[in-house]
Amino acid sequence: MPRRSYGAMLTVSELQSMLNRKQRELSRLTRKRSTLQRRLEDIDDQIRRIDGGTRSTASGRARNAKSLVVVIGDVLQRSGKPMRVSDIAAAAQAAGYQSSSPNFRSIVNQMLIKNRSRFTSADRGFYHIKK
């Protein structure tokens, strides 16, 4: 036999009272969140004034001095021989290229395929720079 839910044992007035308490709690938490959000915005403004606006308070994507295509070209140029995509990705990051991507190898692979005018496939999974 199925169990009866707790709510089935409550009267309508008890359910209404419970609903009212939940609504008051929701209202209180919403006001508290708004207050904290305003305080956080004030702190962000103070940081911008002190820092001169050169630093972003929100975390964003990594900024690199060279594009990924240029870094891949440098890696393959230094190698002088065909390399696997995973080795190219590792060498690009070792050369200082920053990425927050959880699958950076796939991005490198896309760049290699997209830039066929600069890179060519020597064999399955191996790429080298066109001469």
Specify if 2 maps to a domain. no
pLDDT-derived band at 49, boundaries 50, 70, 90: confident
- Whether the CB-CB separation of 128 and 81 falls below 8 Å is answered with yes
Specify if 59 maps to a domain. no
Which of 85 and 54 is assigned the larger pLDDT?
85
Specify if 37 maps to a domain. yes
Distance, CA of 76 to CA of 126 (rounded, Å): 11
Cα R_g (the chain), whole angstroms: 28
In whole numbers, what is the pLDDT of the chain averaged over residues? 86
Residue 121: how many other CB atoms lie within 10 Å: 13
Q: What's the average model confidence in pLDDT over 43-65?
A: 71
For position 41, what pLDDT does the model report? 86
On whether both 72 and 122 belong to a single domain, the answer is: yes
pLDDT-derived band at 2, boundaries 50, 70, 90: low
For position 61, what pLDDT does the model report? 65
CA distances from 55 to 8, 49, 61, 97, 98 (A): 56, 10, 13, 20, 18
On whether both 86 and 115 belong to a single domain, the answer is: yes
Which two three-digit tokens encode residue 41?
Answer: 């915005």
Specify if 24 maps to a domain. yes
On whether both 47 and 83 belong to a single domain, the answer is: no
Per-residue DSSP letter, 84? E
Q: Which of 103, 107, 104, 131 is nearest to 117 (CA)?
A: 131
pLDDT-derived band at 123, boundaries 50, 70, 90: confident
Residue whose entry in the numeric block shows the structure tokens 């709510």: 7
Distance, CA of 26 to CA of 22 (rounded, Å): 6
On whether both 47 and 82 belong to a single domain, the answer is: no
